[in-house]
Chain A
Amino acid sequence: MNDVEPLIVSELERLLPLPNGGRADWSDVLRRADFVRARRRWRPVLVTAVVAAALVGVGVAIAAGFGAFNGISAAQRPQTPADKIDPKLLAEINAANRGSGLGLIPGSARLVRRLPNARIYAVATKDGQLCVLAARLLNNNGKSDAAGMGCGSPLTQNEPSTAATFARNESSPAISWGITLDTVTAVSFTAGGYKVTVPVENNVWAYEGPAPTHGTLTAHFKDGSTEPIG
């Protein structure tokens, strides 16, 4: 420091002392950055406890990856133009998961459900994993274009449904969704303190409201049996 710098430092300190950090709020920064942040939130496996529980186990590699759709009739059909994922979105997924060996097969994408606030796709990976992509998740004013995705082993009788939840922020209702085996007719869970049962249509269930409580998700089969899935 030269002769005047100590004086400058001390006088500026008097002018405006270092404030305390009580206002710091990283979650608020994330909310302000919401749109692009959400689009870049890709993970090979979506980190919600429900999804992690629903997509556990080791995947079986199947030729062309389409075995990932075993038991999911809504995804077992030829691809149509409506099934194709926006190339920009696909590029973002691949960029965000670079180095993870995700290996999505774009030609395998099947749009399994259009919702008011989202489009749900089933997508296979080169190593036979099932990925569930929710694109065009709209915010409260219908303007943002966020997305979320989870990947894991193909569904089984013990793991008959995927599950994921997306919320714009703590005050907005969550969108929860999943893809199930053909044999599943409904899922139930606790949300906001209430028991909720959601019917499955064309292998997909979706619910908008309070996020499901971790550990309460149950699949209901055609034969009346149930299976806890997370």
Chain B
Amino acid sequence: MAANGPLTGELEDLYRGRYRYFLRLATVIVGDETSGHDAVQDGFAQALREQQSFRGEGPLEAWVWRTVVNAALASRRRRVARREAPEAAGNANANGQAGESAVRTWVAALPERQRLVVYLRYYADLDYRSIADALGVEVGTVSATLSSAHQALRRSMKEVEQ
């Protein structure tokens, strides 16, 4: 009784091939791997249900990233409302002392949207176009966000060195 929508096969291939990457990103957003897994499952389930709405204007993977990221953000919002979420986004599995890593400090200090751009770029290995599709923003916004984030990191690293 396999699903038979036009994109079901592609979605299954994407899931099987990239599950670990989706799980990592969802985990870092939500705060723990179990909830991250739930977000991935829910995101893909939503993509299956709404596959007819995919217009093919961008990569399918970027469209799925969007549903998974939204599922993770929704999960995080629910957990925050229940006061179950970690105190700071980006702290999943972070065991280091404060200041140990300029990158960790930098990531934790980023506004949520910028942090998502960083995660999608470096955890999901998406190109700028796909990140823009996944977050529903312009490519220029992604480029500017990463550029300013890199600048901020350079400044942060110099401060640590001094």
- A-side interface residues toward B, CB under 8 Å? 2-5, 7-9, 11-12, 14-21, 23-26, 28-30, 32-33, 35-38, 40-43, 47-48, 96, 148, 166-167
Contact = CB atoms under 8 A, between A and B. Distances in A.
B101 interface: yes
Contact of B19 (A2, A4, A24, A148): A24
Given A12-B123, A15-B92, A37-B48, A26 B15 contact: yes
B48 A33 contact: yes
Of B1, B8, B24, most buried by chain A (CB within 10 Å of CB) is B1
A144 B2 CA distance: 17
Contacts of B2: 30, 41, 47
Contacts of A35: 49
Given A2-B150, A167-B1, A32 B24 contact: no
13 contacts: A5-B122, A9-B122, A14-B101, A15-B92, A15-B103, A16-B28, A16-B92, A23-B33, A30-B3, A32-B44, A41-B1, A47-B1, A96-B5
Nearest to B20: A21
Contacts of A12: 103, 107, 118-119, 122-123
Main secondary structure, interface of B, reads helix
User: How big is chain B's contact interface, by range?
Assistant: 35 or more
A14 B19 CA distance: 19
A24 B36 CA distance: 12
B16 interface: yes
B5 A37 contact: yes
Interface string B36-51: 0100011011101100
A138 to B, nearest CB: 16
Of A3, A19, A21, most buried by chain B (CB within 10 Å of CB) is A19
A2 B104 CA distance: 18
A131 B162 CA distance: 77
Contacts of B37: 23
B41 A28 contact: yes
Interface in B94-119: 94, 101, 103-104, 107, 118-119
A48 B48 CA distance: 22
A11 B104 contact: yes
B24 A29 contact: no
B42 A32 contact: yes
